[in-house]
Amino acid sequence: MTRIVVVGAGPAGIAAACRAAESGAMVTLLDGEPYPGGGIWRHSIDYSVPRPVRNSKEAKNMREKTKISNGARKAKRWFNRLDKVGVSLRTSETVVDITGRSVQVQREQGELDSIAFDKLILATGAHELFLPFPGWTLPNVMGVGGAQALLKAGMPVNPASPRGGVKRLRVVVGGSGPLLFAVAASLAKAGAKIVCVAEQTSGMQLAKFALGILRYQPAKMVQGMGYMLQYFPAPYWPNTWVKEARGDSQVREVVLTNGKRQWIEPADLVACAYGLVPSVELAALAGCKQENGRLVVDNLQRTSIEGFFAAGEITGIGGTDLAITEGEIAGLAAAGKAKETADYTDYTEKEKKQKLKSVKSVVNKLIARRERQQKFARLLNQSFALKPHLKQLPADDTIVCRCEDVTFGELKNQADQRSAKLYTRCGMGPCQGRVCSSALQYLLDWEPNKVRPPLFPTKIGAFISNTESLKRKAKK
């Protein structure tokens, strides 16, 4: 039986695991977080309660109230499928290294374990791009994902005011991309007052995007409108971005700009993100080829390393639906179910279409679907491409590397990421540049630094007991 390890239990990883297991492979699905689902589905199912309770009416009602129903329905379908096929789902297990044909995972308690595989599917997703601006280190300035996570964890957005009544939290959402809608909607739904959504891209680009959605994914338009209605009547300002956050013990107001003039808006919370960047660190550690910060894959989601596949946002930002399709293809291909399908990489568009028509296998259908979804992905990336103005966001005294307190002024004259690391310690803290590295790649056009194991801080004792257990295994 083919042993397949899938890293990342987001939509792509779940789809891959399902398809692979359904094809008869022995599948282990790993995720560093306590619950599966990735950035978007993690909170759709309350995994902290046993399954019978999970499926109870009360639980369902509660979920219905808090969830965006369309996405949640899809999530539920996939979670059910996952439950059925018998995948070994291991959460709170983070992959910290890949050596040969095994992954090293770290459990929450800190111990390491190694899991051998014949085929590996990388579905490590994406993280937000956060660009530093003056004042971003003030309390209550955070990423969009951070705000969403806090909300889901029960952050009060309308705390009781000392003078009686409730004081609705005033929130400025800023940055770029459709994610801003989603977070503004969920914050508004929870009772926060959305001051505005500041989207850096131009109105023209947004109009093109809207037209494109109508063409490729009309359902998404409905979803978007739904979001907008939820935080109505807050304004949605294109061509606008947060220039500065001001405050004392926490943020009090933000300075917004459209490049020509600037103005001030009150804010108790600022949620800001400039889109997503693929999380390619683990793949880089393994040595998979990348291009422009994305993993390079072929028609069957194969990476440059034999037996290693990749799916989802790690191969480029394209949204949940594309991630699922890619996951399905990777799962089938890794399980050896895509053999009948030729590798069409060298074919022309026309030849490809003909082939796809003639061989009506599942994989080919999925490949055709992926092509359609990729069109949407391209539109998405073009429409929300970042303005060059944003490279001027940080001031000289703006901290860029929070772990080591390195300012932009110290960094801007360095030649590259490696020099910055050597001379300023930028990116040498506990987060290992996970936050600042992406920002610097954009701000200063730097290449990413070489990835070194362990990928995440790992208990020293774990290395040792792992060696010992390996030795024991070898002896047996």
Partner 1 sequence: MLGHRVTENYDVVIVGGGIVGAACAAELSGARLRILVIDAGRVGCGTTGASMGHIVVMDDSEALLNLTAFSRELWLRLAKDSASACEYLPCGTLWVAADAEEMDVVYQKAKNYEEHDIAVEVLDHKSLYQYEPNLAQGLAGGLRVVGDCVIYPPNCAALLLQGIEVRENCNVCQISDNLVSLENGSEIRAEFIVNAAGAAAPKLTAELPVEPRKGHLVITARYPGFCQHQIVELGYLKSVQKMEKESVAFNIQPRPSGQYLIGSSREFAGWDDSINRNLVNRMLTRACDYMPALKEMFAIRTWFGYRPAPMLSCPPPRLASGDAGAGESKNGGDKLPIIGNWPKVKGLYIAAGHEGLGITTSLGTARLLAAEILGQPPPIDPAPYRPSRLFRENK
Ligand X SMILES: Cc1cc2nc3c(=O)[nH]c(=O)nc-3n(C[C@H](O)[C@H](O)[C@H](O)COP(=O)(O)OP(=O)(O)OC[C@H]3O[C@@H](n4cnc5c(N)ncnc54)[C@H](O)[C@@H]3O)c2cc1C
Residue 461's H or E segment, with its range, is helix 460-475
Q: Does the footprint of ligand X cover residue 147 (CB under 6 A)?
A: no
Window 87-126: contact mask with partner 1 (x via CB under 8 A): ----------x-x---------------------------
Q: How far is the CB of 139 from partner 1 (least distance, A)?
A: 22
Interacting partner of 437 out of partner 1, ligand X, none (Cβ under 5 to 8 A depending on kind): none
> Toward ligand X, which CB reaches closer, 132 or 319?
319
Q: Which of 142, 282, 284, 379 binds ligand X (CB under 6 A)?
A: 282
Alpha carbon of residue 19 to chain centroid: 22
Secondary structure letter of residue 447 according to DSSP: P
Q: Which of 381, 419, 441, 469 binds partner 1 (CB under 8 A)?
A: 419
Q: Does the footprint of partner 1 cover residue 266 (CB under 8 A)?
A: no
Distance CA 243, CA 254 (A): 7
Q: Does the footprint of ligand X cover residue 256 (CB under 6 A)?
A: no
CB 410 within 8 A of CB 427: no
Q: Does the footprint of partner 1 cover residue 160 (CB under 8 A)?
A: no
Cα distances from 19 to residues 15, 16, 55, 86, 125, in angstroms, run 6, 5, 24, 11, 18
* CB atoms inside a 10 Å sphere around CB 273: 25
> Toward partner 1, which CB reaches closer, 229 or 415?
415
**Selection from 449, 420, 130 nearest residue 293 by Cα:** 449
Q: Does the footprint of ligand X cover residue 433 (CB under 6 A)?
A: no
Contacts of 79 (CB under 8 A, 6+ apart): 14, 36, 37, 41, 44, 45
> Toward ligand X, which CB reaches closer, 151 or 367?
151
Q: How far is the CB of 13 from ligand X (least distance, A)?
A: 5
Q: Does the footprint of partner 1 cover residue 415 (CB under 8 A)?
A: yes
How many chain residues touch partner 1 (CB under 8 A)?
A: 26
Distance CA 41, CA 148 (A): 12
Distance CA 70, CA 66 (A): 12
The interface with ligand X within residues 302-331 (CB under 6 A) comprises 312-313, 319-320, 323
Q: Does the footprint of ligand X cover residue 22 (CB under 6 A)?
A: no
Residue type, 131: L
Distance CA 436, CA 403 (A): 9
Interacting partner of 88 out of partner 1, ligand X, none (Cβ under 5 to 8 A depending on kind): none
The interface with ligand X within residues 158-217 (CB under 6 A) comprises 179, 182
Cα distances from 194 to residues 166, 179, 181, 203, in angstroms, run 15, 15, 11, 20
CB 71 within 8 A of CB 177: no
Residue 278's H or E segment, with its range, is strand 276-278
Burial of 401 (0-12, 13-18, 19+ CB in 10 A): buried
Tokens 């003039």 belong to: 261
Interacting partner of 457 out of ligand X, partner 1, none (Cβ under 5 to 8 A depending on kind): partner 1
Q: Which of 6, 17, 25, 40 binds ligand X (CB under 6 A)?
A: 40
Window 453-472: contact mask with partner 1 (x via CB under 8 A): xx--xxxxx-xx-xx-----
**Residues interacting with ligand X, by CB under 6 A?**
7-13, 30-33, 38-40, 94-95, 123-128, 145, 148, 179, 182, 276, 279, 282, 312-313, 319-320, 323, 455
**Residues interacting with partner 1, by CB under 8 A?**
97, 99, 404, 415-416, 418-419, 422-423, 425, 428-430, 432, 452-454, 457-461, 463-464, 466-467
